[in-house]
Chain A
Amino acid sequence: MRAHAMYRRPPAAPRFPWRRLAPSLSLLLSFTAIWLACLVLPLPPSLQAMELTGYVEAEGRLFPRQPAAAGQAHHDASLAIQPELYGWLANGWRASLVFFGRSGGPDNERNHWDLREASLSKAWGALELELGVGRVFWGATEFVHLVDIVNQTDLVEDIDGDDKLGQPLIRLTYGRSWGAVDLFLLPFFRPRTFPGANGRLRPTFPILQDEPDYESARGRDHVDYAGRLTLILGPTDIGIAFFAGTNREPLLLPRLTGQGMALVPYYQQIRQISIDAQAAVGDWLWKFEGRYRDAAAASGSAAVGGVEYTLYAVGDTAADIGLLAEYGWDQRRGAQAIAQDNDLMLGLRLAANDTANTTLLLGLGLNLAGDTSFLRLEGEQRLGERWKLIVEGSLFFTHGDATDPLASLADDDFFRLQLRRYF
């Protein structure tokens, strides 16, 4: 990824040693808050129902190309587990606890665990309160997520940005038939995960993710807030949102270390307004996401829009075929160039509608402004009642001397196989 040092470097945030000693402090605090809440509420005796579900997964990844850096492997294998515990309490509270952990791979940054969810929620009529660690998704489009900002991306899991870290939050929702209003208080910041020095799918220079810099003197204790208005207008859903706080997407600033050049994540303070919309009209789905960000460095706007056309029950079979096209445009100025800055993305989706729920998605991304493109295939199929096979392949292409961030992944074409057993 391209990183610039063109802007004025902010004064270093004051550092408290204990913060380094306890990188998961926010999680511990959230846990404490939840259990305190549990003490206040008559929780254990009133537990009405509880269910434990989740999966264990074996994953193998293959990188056919020669790695760019020494120490990076051609293939890896790891195990992952995601237990999920849901409980309903007699006093109307709902509790959820979702843990994720991966282990056994060569990259110690990817061998990680996270509390995806640990929250209590309760509804009073149209009003609902959630507190704890939660996950929230905003957005409509398939290939790019521009407006989704509440949760941090768990980038070591996959480069598609769909895996998220649990976010400590207090959320208040008021919902009606016309839509809903959500207010969020986000008391702790989760830094993004990046592959380690010996991991694949990282920029040319290693990322010093354990030594991030923050624009705010409060660092990861900066309290962020956000709000969202969701409107249901006939066949159209519209979301209008704002966010003020620490950007989930860091700038990566070069720094010379004893081991050579490295990149330091720098998290800015931003204010963002966004709109996202999806509409189902006949066999067409229309999707749009747009945002404007205000920051000390790299302000700017970005948008992505597209359509998905579905052919149902093709040729007397049960299978559906979806055709997708999205165009993304990004005019962030200066420091924060990203992979999608003027991109056309085309997709073909196949849903067999069979008992194994076989699905396939083929995506092609063309950077019209730069010299890169990618091809991605995702497929999944259930095996029996409790097993599932997920395959994925990504190929990256660069032409000439490509300067956009995707170019640094040129040697990291990969294939991935995941076998899951649900319990």
Chain B
Amino acid sequence: MSRRPFRRFLAAAIFLFACFGTAFPQAASAATPAAEARGLAIAREADRRDRGFGDYAAVMTMILTNRHGETSKREMRLFVLEMPDDGDRSLLIFDSPADVRGTALLTWAHRERDDDQWLYLPALKRVKRISGRNRSGAFMGSEFSYEDIASQEVTKYRYRFLGEEKLNGRTCLVNERRPAQGVHSGYQRQVVWLDSEMYQPWKIDYYDRKGALLKTLTFEGYQRFLATYWRPTAMHMQNHQTGKRTDLLFRRYRFATGLTPADLSRNRLGRRP
């Protein structure tokens, strides 16, 4: 029996935070065809605009705050590689807390099927397959689920355009997204406020399976890289039902780092880049 058998918490999908812009989900049960078509078009446009970034790396700090205001911190490094004909490959390496240091999560996102995922446990030098379907589970004990930070492939949602709205002085396209047929999701629907110029989200409301407002994610401090690609410097997730929140801070974005598919392969897990 394994001594450190668990770490299930790490279990599942990853990122492409960037690609939040990518897919703006939505669709609705009783939507008009025009609103659905517009919603899908917006999602595709956001996806199109983020293509061609190649690869990037970033350092992330995650701050968990419970309802009493007590906080705890996690540090990790993110590496993302765009694949020409498939979803992106990403690698997340944990630097803290100290007991999970070196733990790594490798994700190969796919457009047409469940993502491939591997978890590397440094104490045992063991690579475990992880179910790419675990999308609703909490990521590292945070308010983010794996679904929230997973690569947002356009095909995984149905869309419905709800209208335009001003948010913090910016004109936003408000788009609703619901999980596509056969796609697992912890949510009934999400509503995304997408900047009408940048095509990046400022806010996402998450509704639980019963239709009640569960969480709100807000984005902050977009920076542009390679004159094209927008990335946030902070994401704030507030859980309305538990009062807990998680802040995700990004720094040291680097593009065109020279990552190769070999760097993001199963057998390289544990060789921290």
Q: Which residues of A contact B (CB under 8 A)?
A: 53, 55, 86, 94, 121, 123, 125-126, 128, 135-137, 139, 142-143, 158, 160, 162-163, 173, 175-177, 179-180, 182, 230, 232, 234-235, 237, 278-280, 282-285, 310, 312-313, 318, 320, 322, 347, 349, 351-357, 359-361, 363, 376, 378, 380, 382, 385-386, 388, 390, 392, 420, 422-423
A65–B186 alpha-carbon span in the complex (Å): 49
**What's the Cα separation between A423 and B114 when bound, in Å?**
38
Q: Give the 5 A-B CB pairs with smallest separation, nearest first.
A: A359-B6, A422-B98, A351-B8, A318-B138, A180-B267
CB pair B97–A382 under 8 Å, yes or no, is: yes
Sampled A-B contacts (15; CB under 8 Å)? A55-B98, A55-B99, A175-B266, A230-B266, A280-B133, A284-B131, A285-B129, A312-B136, A353-B138, A353-B141, A356-B141, A385-B96, A388-B99, A420-B99, A422-B101
Contact in complex: B6, A53 (CB < 8 Å):
no
Chain B residues in 8 Å Cβ range of A376: 1
Most chain A Cβ neighbours within 10 Å, of B1, B66, B100, B133: B1
Complex Cα gap A149–B266 (Å): 20
Which single residue of chain B is at the shortest CB-CB distance from A122? B271
Give A34 Cβ to nearest chain B Cβ, in Å: 17
Chain B nearest CB: distance from A80 CB in Å? 13
Expressed in whole angstroms, the minimum distance between the Cβ of A85 and any Cβ of chain B is 13
Contact (Cβ within 8 A) A232 B266:
yes
* Interface residue? B9 (CB, 8 A): yes
Question: Which of A278, A320, A352 is the one whose CB lies under 8 Å from B128?
Answer: A278
Asked if B64 is at the interface (CB within 8 A of a chain A CB), the reply is yes
- B261 and A351 contacting across the interface, CB-CB below 8 Å: no
Q: CB-CB < 8 A to A385: which residues of B?
A: 72-73, 96-98
B188 at the interface (CB under 8 A from A): no
Most A C-beta atoms less than 10 A away, residue of B72, B130, B137: B137
Q: Give bound CA distance, A101 to B272, whole Å.
A: 25
Chain B residues, Cβ within 8 Å of A320: 8-9, 11, 134, 137
**Given contacts A143-B1, A280-B117, A175 and B262 within 8 Å (CB-CB):** yes
In the complex, A182→B138 CA distance in Å?
Answer: 35
Are A378 and B8 interface neighbours, CB within 8 A? no
Residues of B within 8 A of A125 (CB): 260, 262
Within 8 A of A (CB), among B115-167: 116-118, 124-134, 136-138, 141
The reply to whether the CB of B181 lies closer than 8 angstroms to some CB of chain A is: no
Interface contacts beyond A359-B7, A423-B98: sample of 17 additional A-B pairs, CB < 8 Å, sorted by A: A135-B125, A163-B3, A173-B267, A175-B265, A230-B267, A234-B113, A235-B116, A280-B114, A280-B132, A310-B8, A313-B186, A318-B141, A351-B7, A351-B9, A361-B1, A386-B97, A422-B98
B contact set with A: CB distance below 8 Å: 1-9, 11, 64, 66, 72-73, 96-101, 113-114, 116-118, 124-134, 136-138, 141, 186, 260-262, 265-268, 271-272
| Contact, CB under 8 Å: B261 / A235 | no
Residues of A within 8 A of B96 (CB): 385
Please indicate the chain B residues that have their CB under 8 angstroms from the CB of A175 in the complex: 262, 265-268
- Say whether B133 contacts A283, CB under 8 Å: yes
Taken together as a complex, chains A and B put the C-alpha atoms of A353 and B10 apart, in Å, by 8
Residue of B nearest to A387 (CB): B99
CB distance from A133 to the nearest CB of B (A): 13
Distance A352 CA – B131 CA, assembled complex (angstroms): 17
Query: Contact partner of B3 among A162, A310, A322, CB < 8 A?
Result: A162
For B131, the chain A residues whose CB sits under 8 A away are 280, 282-285, 310
The interface residues of chain B lying within 8 Å CB-to-CB of A94 are 271
Q: Is the CB of A354 within 8 A of B1?
A: no
Q: Which of B66, B114, B136 contacts A313 (CB 8 A)?
A: B136
Specify which of A128, A180, A349 is in contact with B6 (CB 8 Å cutoff).
Answer: A349
Say yes or no: B265 contacts A86, CB within 8 Å. no
Distance (whole angstroms) from the CB of B2 to the closest CB of chain A: 6
Q: Is the CB of B129 within 8 A of A279?
A: yes
Kindly provide the distance from the CB of A118 to the nearest chain B CB, expressed in whole angstroms. Answer: 15
Q: How far is the CB of A90 from chain B (nearest CB, A)?
A: 15
Partner of B125, one of A136, A160, A237, A363: A136
How many angstroms from the CA of A139 to the CA of B261 in the assembled complex? 24
Assuming A160-B2, A162-B2, is B100 touching A357 (CB within 8 A)? yes
Which residues from B are CB-within-8-Å of A182? 267
Bound-complex Cα distance A237 to B134 (A) = 18
Q: Which of A123, A284, A347 has the most CB of B within 10 A?
A: A123
Known: A278-B128, A355-B72. A378 touches B137 (CB 8 A): no
Among B99, B114, B266, B271, the residue within 8 A (CB) of A237 is B266
Beyond A175-B262, A359-B6, whether A386 also contacts B125 by CB under 8 A is no
A411 CA / B133 CA spacing, docked (Å): 44
Interface hub of B3, B6, B7 (most chain A Cβ within 10 A): B6
Instruction: For B4, list chain A residues within 8 Å (CB).
Output: 380
Q: Complex: how many Å from CA A102 to CA B164?
A: 65
Report the separation of the CA atoms of residues A422 and B128 in the bound assembly, to the nearest whole angstrom: 24
What distance in Å separates the Cβ of B193 from its nearest Cβ neighbour in chain A? 26
Asked if A378 contacts B5 (CB within 8 A), the reply is yes
For A355, list chain B residues within 8 Å (CB): 64, 66, 72, 141
Contact B262 A386 (CB under 8 A): no
Are A235 and B268 interface neighbours, CB within 8 A? no
Is the pair A349, B5 in contact by a Cβ cutoff of 8 Å?
Answer: yes
The complex places the Cα of A237 from the Cα of B97 at a distance, in Å, of: 29
Return chain A residues, CB-CB under 8 Å to B125.
Answer: 135-137
Q: Are A378 and B1 in contact (CB under 8 A)?
A: yes
Contacts of B138 in A (CB 8 A): 313, 318, 353
Q: In the bound complex, how far is the Cα of B240 from the Cα of A347, in angstroms?
A: 35
By the criterion CB–CB under 8 Å, are B6 and A380 in contact?
Answer: yes
A388 to B6: give the CA distance in the assembly, Å: 14
Q: Are B134 and A123 in contact (CB under 8 A)?
A: no
Which of these, A282, A347, A388, contacts B133 with CB under 8 Å? A282
